[in-house]
Amino acid sequence: MTTTSPVPAAADAPAQPAVTVTSRPLPVTAVRLDDPFWSPRVEVVRRRTIPFQRRQIDRVGHLRALAGAPDPGDAPPHVFWDSDVAKWIEAASNSLAVTPDARLERDVDEAVEVLARAQHPDGYLNTYFTAAAPGERFTDLRDAHELYCAGHLIEAGVAHHAATGKTSLLDVVRRYADLIGEVFGPGPGQLRGYDGHEEVELALVKLARATGEDRYLRLASYFVDERGREPYFFDAETARRGTDGWFGEHFSGLDHPGRTREYLQAHAPVREQHEAVGHAVRATYLYSAMADLAADTGDGTLLAACRRLWDHLAATRTYVTGGLGSSRVNEGFTRDFDLPAEDAYAETCAAIGLVMWSQRMLTVDRDRRYADTMERALYNAVLAGLSADGEHFFYDNPLASRGGVQRHEWFEVACCPPNIARLLTSLGGYAFAQGRDELVVHLALGAAVRFETSAGPATVDVSTDAPWGGRTQLRVTDSPGGEFTLSLRVPGWAEGGQLTVDGQRFDVADLLGPDGYVSLTRAWQVGAEVVLDLDVAVRRWWADPRVTGEAQHVAVTRGPLVYAAEEVDNGPSLVDLRLDRSAPARVVQVPGLPDVLGVRLSGGRVEHAGAGLYRTEPPRRVPADLLLVPYYAWANRGAGEMRVWLGDSED
């Protein structure tokens, strides 16, 4: 881990205790995935999704536009295009880090070469402002995603270097980051601005860690600290430009929400923000950067803001699936408890952002609620965004559908497909962390995990039957002989369990720490085993009554999985289904979905008598046997109806 010198907090920020980093995510190369649930899915991403996304990028013309040689049929460059290429490179690099693939490496090298040739002599690199809007660089930061694209390029450069040891892309992005550092800042002649779509901030932290260069950390701090200050930068930018920006050009006559300060999380300096507002992806990327900076600079004021924002988000604006963002209009938040099911936007990228933020909060504030949220979002709101075949994607993720909803091969704004690929190819860093003489298991994930202790490296093999079961086993396969700690999260969904350490059994409740983890310290020998057995039960959930759309409705979970009813299993008119409150549940194989387990429950169906829009005859309820499937698996057997929230039999 690279250490950096402290960067001071804003002068007007209230004093807070310094931040203590308890652990850091393990690198991709330290985790060899071997998991019955996740390994097949990651393999689909490696074998199908990554090559498929490269074909889509080539079909649309991203790299040809970068090279300055578009085909006549290519679409004009989009402001987002560089981020699509960058996320694809990051996903491919993550894959190469653990699975050599000569063909994929050649494809990545080819893309890197195109980027290097397209870079301007001063370090600037952006397809749209080179090919479509030359001479307008850094004039439309509010709308045109210039620094957002730069951030994803920087993340790609860091990942590519970590995977391959090559500096070809890292050198490119360092030159670009150095240019950004010259252009932006509070100094004489600098542009005192920041990006409309947050991303470069967290990318610069990654670059600082990879290179050991403090200037990138200081630049990230500047962008975070400057946000929301007066005079308001985007007003001044609009006045200088004399036009209404990219949104004004492409959404003529519409009052696009991108003009509002809340949409951009720029309504107040970040340390004064109390609610998660605006565009959900932008928000989670900003909060991720704030948590990163809290960790790397020791700034307690940023951590305090993150905790405050997290508490608000978790209490009022998060879907039961871990999805974020209720409105299609602003791709984000509206008001507290506004969580419609059928009209839910819940963008896949927003759920990915929540996973990213959760991981970072665990670094500086270990508490199982962050890992519980990360797990819930990962298994539900994120995984639903990818089809079983790895080549179809959801952009938004409703919690109810009247039919006709299906995943798509690609989008004009294709942020979600490569984003989910880069996340799933880096799962190890979300599941496992390295503390001081400690391995932390945040997520139950089968893998061989290598980490450092004061006495030398150690390796632990982790096996699990999650998410279907509650058993996780750790076996020490390499130990230097000194003391180290094994810390395992006990999820909030577990209703009890036992821990066995080298044959000795304990009740989990007796060993559980206040952070929700069991921590065991000893001089572990090769062959030592820890087994965590948790009770995995079907649970029914009722929403806060202020979530008015779900009144008299119930949702079902089992372990980390949220379940949904589909038309293919239960017939049409799912709105008429009713779930019994206390009937036992049976775990069954889902027809047509190999290796997917559903839940069969007793319930009923409302049958409507008479005809016409309004009837004088009352409906009646008849018994029904209901089959629910994991939410992530819906829409893989047709585009029929789906519902997460079902009628409560007692209402």
Q: What's the longest Cα–Cα distance across the chain?
A: 79
Q: Is residue 325 within 8 Å of 350, Cβ to Cβ?
A: yes
Listed residue (4, 46, 23, 29) closest to 162, CA to CA: 29
Contact status, residue 205 vs residue 216, Cβ threshold 8 Å: yes
In this predicted structure, what is the pLDDT of residue 8?
Answer: 42
CB distance 580 to 602 below 8 Å: yes
Q: Look up the pTM and report it.
A: 0.96
CA-wise closest residue to 95 among 418, 394, 389 = 418
**What are phi and psi for residue 557, nearest 5 degrees?**
-130, 160
Domains of the chain by start residue, with CATH? 35-314+322-425 (1.50.10), 432-534 (2.60.40.1180), 539-648 (no CATH)
> What pLDDT was estimated at residue 13?
52
Looking at residue 254, its pLDDT comes to 57
Provide the pLDDT for residue 583. 85
Residue segments in the chain with a per-residue pLDDT below the cut of 50: 1-11
CB burial of 274-308 (b: ≥16 within 10 Å; e: otherwise) equals ebbbbbbbbbbbbbbbbbbbbbbbbbbbbbbbbbb
Owner of token pair 């730069």: 150
What pLDDT is recorded for position 495? Answer: 86
Supply the pLDDT for residue 324. Answer: 98
Cβ neighbours of residue 20 closer than 8 Å, sequence gap 6 or more: 364
pLDDT at 9: 45
Q: What does the pLDDT read at residue 7? A: 40
Q: What is the pLDDT of residue 598?
A: 98
**β-strands 561-566, 620-630 pairing:** antiparallel
Give the number of other CB atoms < 10 A from CB of residue 257: 18
In this prediction, residue 77 carries a pLDDT of 93
- Catalytically annotated residues: 331, 415
Cα 145 from Cα 78, distance rounded (Å):
10
CA-to-CA distance for 26 and 236, rounded, in angstroms? 43
- Which secondary-structure segment (H or E) carries 228? none
What distance in Å separates the CA atoms of residue 368 and residue 358, rounded to the nearest whole number?
Answer: 10
For position 134, what pLDDT does the model report?
A: 94
Between CA 434 and CA 441 the distance in angstroms is 9
**Token pair 């957002």 in the structure block, residue:** 148
